[in-house]
Structure 1
Amino acid sequence: MVLTKKEAAFIHDKVFKLGMNRTLSTGITETMDKFKNLHMSYSYQDPSMPHDQATQLLSSRDPSAVTSALISIGLNEENWLWAQGVCIDHLQSQDKSIAFAAITAIGHIARRHKKLDLVLTTSALAETQSKHPSLAGSIADTLDDIEMFITDK
């Protein structure tokens, strides 16, 4: 997968906005003040996987597999309504890395499809913030994505 300059700049801005520590393939290390306690790998992995594989991984007990599936769904799923439902279902996970991936995937769905059920999604994100206050920054970023990319409000 090759990113355009615009996509790379967008990701770079998001990473710095969240204050995450990440070692990029170029060897640049950024600071990680937030999310130290998340059990999630920030090393690059190609998030593309077939729908059936993503669906299968969602039922895994391995948080890393579930987070990979959620990100793939956010970036690749053609059925935005189904993808939104899957992400909302995972927002209330006890595992913060899964909730984080679901939050991120919702932002990807908004960017790619330019539509979401805003009442359902914003309500679910508010509930997630109550359950996982440490994810407030990620939720704010996703709400920014929704505001930016969803034009039919």
Structure 2
Amino acid sequence: MSTQRSYYEPAPTSHETATDALAANDIDTLTDSMVALALHDPDWRWCQDFYLRLLDHPEEDVRASAAICLSHLARIHHELDTAKVLPALRARLADPAVGGTVEDAIADILQFLGLPPGTA
């Protein structure tokens, strides 16, 4: 019998909840908060900078979530500081644990922002 994780959308949360979870190294709450912020928080710049910091987190799930959340921001807000985000993501393409996720996030960001492939 296989188990599948069904999709769910986390309820809106606060910056404080996410930063507290990070400080406590509560990975489940952190990743849920990251997605909740990406989907619901109007302050995309704060979220973007938070996710950029988390691209170097020691936990694979957090690094992958950070990349995915950056693509959510692009999809929802149609804005990102691509001069910061794209080089940061490209620098993590060689990460064997999350490189594929990062590659997908880059492609999504380019599509959602209407940028040509290969944009720095």
User: Is the contact made by 1:107 and 1:146 (CA closer than 8 Å) also made in structure 2?
Assistant: yes
TM-score (norm 2): 0.81
1:115 aligns with 2:79: yes
TM-score (norm 1): 0.65
Distance 1:106 1:22 in 2: 27
Higher relative contact order (CA 8 A, sep 6+): 2
Distance 1:89 1:22 in 2: 32
| Cross-structure match for 1:59 | 23
1:48 aligns with 2:36: no
Greater C-alpha Rg = 1
Alignment of structure 1 residues 1-153 onto 2, 5 Å: 23=4, 42-51=5-14, 52-130=16-94, 132-151=95-114
User: Is the contact made by 1:74 and 1:106 (CA closer than 8 Å) also made in structure 2?
Assistant: yes
CA shift at 1:22, angstroms? Answer: 6.2
| Cross-structure match for 1:11 | none
User: Are residues 22 and 89 of structure 1, via their aligned partners in 2, closer, same or farther at CA, if it must alter by over 3 Å?
Assistant: farther
One-letter amino acid matched to 2:79: K
Where do 4+ consecutive residues of structure 1 move more than 6 Å?
Answer: none
User: Is the contact made by 1:22 and 1:43 (CA closer than 8 Å) also made in structure 2?
Assistant: no
User: Is the contact made by 2:45 and 2:80 (CA closer than 8 Å) also made in structure 1?
Assistant: yes
CA shift at 1:115, angstroms? Answer: 0.7
One-letter amino acid matched to 1:115: E
Q: Percent identity?
A: 25
The Cα RMSD (Å) is 2.2
Distance 1:136 1:89 in 2: 17
What is the aligned length? Answer: 114
User: Is the contact made by 1:57 and 1:65 (CA closer than 8 Å) also made in structure 2?
Assistant: yes
